[in-house]
Amino acid sequence: MTRRSGACLVIACGVLALDVISKIVVVARMQPYPAHTRLLGGVLTLQLIRNPGAAFGLGASYTVIYALIAVGVIVFILRSRRAVRRIDRKSTRL
């Protein structure tokens, strides 16, 4: 693994961790809709609204399928990156 790949992996894991932690904090501290939390003197208002679907409220029963598709796309990108790097190395030798 290259230094750049390692940095990307660390950043991705950090963003995922922040996402999960923020969701845990919000669910633990906020009341569900229609209640709201005002911040900064009312400049910012937060409401806890649950999305029953996987994407934009659609496909509530397809959440697992969407996750598998996302994992497949990630694997494809990683494999393609390696192939592109090999092609790039060959073209610079010519």
Q: How far is CA 59 from CA 22, 65, 72, 74, in A?
A: 24, 10, 19, 21
Q: What is the pLDDT of residues 30-51, one digit of tens each?
A: 888 888 888 899 899 988 888 7
29 within 8 A of 35, measured Cβ to Cβ: no
Q: What is the model's pLDDT at position 85?
A: 66
Please provide the average confidence, as pLDDT, over all residues in the chain: 81
Q: Could you give the residue ranges of the DSSP H alpha helices within the chain?
A: 3-29, 63-93
pTM score above 0.85: no
49 within 8 A of 33, measured Cβ to Cβ: yes
What one-letter code names the amino acid at 55?
A
Q: How far is CA 88 from CA 8, 38, 71, 84, 94, in A?
A: 20, 53, 26, 6, 10
